[in-house]
């Protein structure tokens, strides 16, 4: 009986360890909710939505994030940043990714 209980305890321990390792491997490639990455870019403002505090920028590659050139919307943090730029302007900007949320934290017209 003692050997059976010991064998069950070892089996349970191995199963838990294997499940934890598999979960860790799955999560490793995913952006974590609290993970923050920062970068700098430059591009052209293609749209501004003051109500949603969003700016859309057609930007070049952002090396710090391994991003290719693309057009995407960023949330402005703080929203007052959007009052300093206009559609069609070339801009330099600082940004961060919090999980899957892209935020512009500074923006300056060229």
* CATH code at position 88: 2.40.50.320
Report the relative pairing of strands 70-76 and 101-109 from DSSP bridges. parallel
Minimum mean pLDDT range among 17-31, 40-54, 88-102: 17-31
Interatomic CA distance for residues 15 and 23, integer angstroms: 12
Same domain (yes/no): 69, 97 = yes
Please check the confidence at residue 5 and state whether its pLDDT lies above 90.
no
Whether the CB-CB separation of 74 and 102 falls below 8 Å is answered with yes
pLDDT of residue 1: 57
Same domain (yes/no): 79, 63 = yes
Same domain (yes/no): 72, 52 = yes
Same domain (yes/no): 11, 40 = no
Please check the confidence at residue 17 and state whether its pLDDT lies above 90.
no
Same domain (yes/no): 50, 24 = no
Q: Is the backbone peptide bond immediately before 78 cis, with ω within 30 degrees of 0?
A: yes
Say which residue the tokens 């920028």 belong to: 57
């Amino acid at each position: 009986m003692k050997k059976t209980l010991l064998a069950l305890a070892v089996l349970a321990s191995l199963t838990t360890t294997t499940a934890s390792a598999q979960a860790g491997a799955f999560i490793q490639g995913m952006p974590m909710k609290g993970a923050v990455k920062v970068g700098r870019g430059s591009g052209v403002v293609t749209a501004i939505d003051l109500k949603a505090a969003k700016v859309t920028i057609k930007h070049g590659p952002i090396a710090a994030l391994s991003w290719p050139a693309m057009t995407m919307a960023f949330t402005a943090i703080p929203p007052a940043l959007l009052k300093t730029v206009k559609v069609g302007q070339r801009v330099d900007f600082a940004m961060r990714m919090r999980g899957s949320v892209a935020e512009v934290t500074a923006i300056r017209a060229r």
